[in-house]
Amino acid sequence: MSEETTRYLVTLVVNGVVREAAVPARRLLSDFLRHDLGLTGTHVGCEHGVCGACTVLLDGEPVRSCLTFAVTVDGHEVTTVEGLAGDNELSPVQRAFTECHGLQCGFCTPGFLCAVTAFLRDNPAPTEEEALEAVSGNLCRCTGYQNIIKAVHRAAEIQAETQGRPEDRGGRA
């Protein structure tokens, strides 16, 4: 067996569930989630860490899963877009993107949702400037961003309205 095909067991918690798969050392976390675990909600837009479509939460913090090797997250906790919603309802960020028409083709959306979820957890009442900054690491080719920024503020509102109902917040590490 060559260096390319030797497999290593990776065990981690994804969206609250223990998952494991044996993968080569070079398997990217994005490919691991998509192809080994079947969580295809995480998208790959550039594979060089610029577009942010592949953003997931690693121990609660946003990371580019296309720049992360799966073997390096053994034992850690990952939240993907599939893990943001509560049992029966969308998270505040998911709801806000829907209400504000913050997505069109939806390909970049999972990355935005993960990034904004982490941002609003740390900064639940952002200023205009902070909201802009929060989404300025992700590329979207469809929306022109205006409704995405609107959605960040709307999500903050919804989050404030539903405070005390932690199950609504989604994506918490």
**Residues interacting with other proteins, by CB under 8 A?**
1-2, 4-5, 24, 26-27, 34-35, 38-48, 50-51, 53, 80-82, 84-85, 90, 94, 97-99, 101, 103-110, 113, 132-133, 135-149
Q: Give the separation between CA 161 and CA 34, rounded to whole angstroms.
A: 34
Q: Give the separation between CA 148 and CA 98, rounded to whole angstroms.
A: 10
Q: At closest approach, how far in Å is the CB of 90 from other proteins? A: 7
Q: CA 83 → CA 15, 129, 130, distances in Å? A: 5, 28, 25
Q: CA 147 → CA 50, 119, 143, 153, distances in Å? A: 21, 17, 7, 10
Q: At closest approach, how far in Å is the CB of 15 from other proteins? A: 10
Q: At closest approach, how far in Å is the CB of 169 from other proteins? A: 15
Decide whether 29 or 103 has the Cβ nearer to other proteins: 103
Decide whether 1 or 75 has the Cβ nearer to other proteins: 1
- In one letter, which amino acid is 167? E
Decide whether 73 or 109 has the Cβ nearer to other proteins: 109
Q: At closest approach, how far in Å is the CB of 103 from other proteins? A: 6
- The encoded tokens of residue 6 equal 């030797």
Q: At closest approach, how far in Å is the CB of 79 from other proteins? A: 11
Decide whether 73 or 110 has the Cβ nearer to other proteins: 110
| Angle, vertex CA 156, rays to CA 150 and CA 160, nearest 5 | 145
Q: CA 82 → CA 42, 52, 114, 115, 123, distances in Å? A: 8, 17, 10, 14, 23
- The encoded tokens of residue 64 equal 């580019």
Decide whether 5 or 164 has the Cβ nearer to other proteins: 5
